[in-house]
């Protein structure tokens, strides 16, 4: 019957309505994406925003011939898991380190003044600033004897890569002041005279700081971090310290110490094969290492620290890292594994309910206090 068919005018009305609705939807989507690009930080993608979670972490594998990222691999399984704001938990737990230290000692902080006219004293923590990248907390060991006054000493360099934090203050404050975000790392031990002699008497220590208002070095371009290290070497070598000495950095003995997101960053930077050794604490990449990364890490000494009670990054993250390196076909000589790959797995206390993040930061505290760690780095050829 005729009533079952729409008239020409009804059909045109329906088509017009459908086209209008499609155009309206396209306009709304376009406005939404423009607002996102203008006002949302770049670390959030459109898909991640629609899903209500951050972009999955990527492991950057560095080219050995260039400073640019070679390619990146998504961290496995993040989009399949419930949203966990690990970054916020890490930030909240950053002050736990100070409370752990304060149980044992009252800090005696000694650092050089920041004025340009002030000579820098060896054996203190001072701050430097690269105008093109980062500020950093720096430590230069004291001269060991009078003979050193007349010569330029070549020293190994330890680059400390911090994890996520609120980062509201200067590099010196965050690294060496109780309550700072990064007081579970070697600079704090050095400032409170608690560092093992194998560290305090032998290493130049440089801890780049992402900057006030930023969250983590992990979010920074890898080439920028590598450029900072080169600048820092040149800056330190240009200084004459208050005792009249100069030092040089032994470019063949530059090692990395990374905590949390800084540990993942340290492993990424190690794929450039520019570093002699790597110490990781609470390593946080949850996916398996891609083959190219494993190939580039072969033969690079790595010592991993992780607590079984870590509630931020599960100990399985470090388990997978170590397993990937050990099981690579044609890889490590089984007789040299003890020198190349080391793994310290901490057992967490179970007496009382612990503060969130306490075991996460404790791994870095244990590694920072270990004289054996820095003796091991010194022994690497």
Tell which residue, 169, 199, 197, has the closest CA to residue 185: 199
**What pLDDT is attached to residue 242?**
86
**What pLDDT is attached to residue 26?**
76
**What pLDDT is attached to residue 42?**
38
Tell how many helices (H) and how many strands (E) occur in the chain. 14, 10
Tell which residue, 57, 6, 16, 2, has the closest CA to residue 216: 57
**What pLDDT is attached to residue 219?**
92
Segment holding 299, helix H or strand E: none
**What pLDDT is attached to residue 286?**
84
In terms of Cβ atoms closer than 10 Å to its own Cβ (0-12, 13-18, 19+), residue 30 is exposed
DSSP assignment letter at 204: E
**What pLDDT is attached to residue 59?**
56
Positions of the chain with pLDDT under 50 = 1-3, 40-57, 63-84, 102-117, 148-150
Q: What is the pLDDT of residues 35-69, one digit of tens each?
A: 655 554 433 333 322 333 333 445 555 544 443 33
**What pLDDT is attached to residue 119?**
72
What is the dihedral sign for C-alpha 30, 34, 35, 41? positive
- Structure tokens belonging to residue 79: 């989009």
Tell which residue, 223, 229, 181, 184, has the closest CA to residue 205: 229
**What pLDDT is attached to residue 66?**
41
- Structure tokens belonging to residue 148: 């050193």
Q: How far apart, in whole angstroms, are the C-alpha atoms of residue 362 and residue 373?
A: 15
Q: How far apart, in whole angstroms, are the C-alpha atoms of residue 197 and residue 141?
A: 10
Q: How far apart, in whole angstroms, are the C-alpha atoms of residue 372 and residue 368?
A: 10
**What pLDDT is attached to residue 152?**
58
**What pLDDT is attached to residue 147?**
52
pTM for the full predicted model: 0.74
**What pLDDT is attached to residue 228?**
97
Segment holding 60, helix H or strand E: strand 58-62
């Amino acid at each position: 019957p005729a009533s079952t068919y729409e008239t020409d005018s009804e059909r045109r009305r329906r088509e017009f309505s459908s086209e209008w609705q499609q155009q309206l939807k396209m306009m709304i989507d376009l406005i939404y994406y423009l607002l996102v690009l203008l006002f949302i930080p770049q670390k959030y993608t459109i898909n991640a925003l629609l899903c209500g979670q951050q972009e999955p972490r990527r492991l950057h594998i560095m080219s050995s011939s260039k400073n640019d990222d070679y390619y990146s691999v998504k961290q496995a399984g993040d989009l399949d898991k419930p949203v966990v704001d690990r970054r916020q938990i890490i930030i909240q737990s950053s002050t736990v380190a100070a409370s752990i230290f304060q149980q044992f000692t009252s800090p005696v902080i000694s650092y050089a003044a920041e004025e340009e006219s002030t000579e820098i004293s060896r054996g203190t923590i001072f701050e430097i600033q690269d105008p093109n990248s980062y500020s950093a907390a720096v430590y230069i060991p004291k001269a060991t004897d009078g003979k050193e006054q007349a010569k330029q000493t070549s020293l190994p360099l330890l680059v400390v890569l911090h994890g996520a934090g609120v980062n509201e203050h200067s590099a010196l404050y965050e690294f060496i002041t109780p309550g700072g975000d990064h007081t579970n790392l070697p600079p704090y031990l050095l400032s409170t005279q608690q560092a093992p002699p194998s560290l305090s008497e032998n290493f130049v220590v440089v801890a780049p700081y992402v900057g006030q208002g930023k969250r983590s070095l992990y979010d920074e371009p890898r080439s920028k971090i590598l450029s900072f290290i080169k600048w820092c070497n040149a800056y330190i070598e240009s200084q004459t310290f208050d005792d009249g000495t100069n030092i040089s950095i032994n470019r063949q003995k530059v090692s990395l110490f990374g905590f949390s997101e800084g540990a993942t960053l340290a492993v990424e930077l190690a794929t450039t094969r520019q570093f002699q050794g790597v110490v990781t604490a609470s390593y946080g990449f949850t996916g398996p290492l891609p083959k190219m990364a494993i190939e580039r890490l072969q033969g690079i000494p790595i010592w991993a620290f992780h607590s079984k009670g870590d509630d931020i990054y599960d100990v399985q993250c470090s388990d997978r890292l170590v397993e990937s390196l050990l099981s690579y076909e044609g890889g490590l000589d089984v007789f040299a594994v003890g020198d190349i790959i080391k793994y310290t797995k901490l057992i967490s206390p179970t007496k009382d309910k612990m503060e969130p993040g306490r075991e996460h930061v404790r791994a870095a505290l244990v590694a920072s206090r270990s004289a054996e760690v820095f003796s091991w780095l010194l022994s690497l050829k």
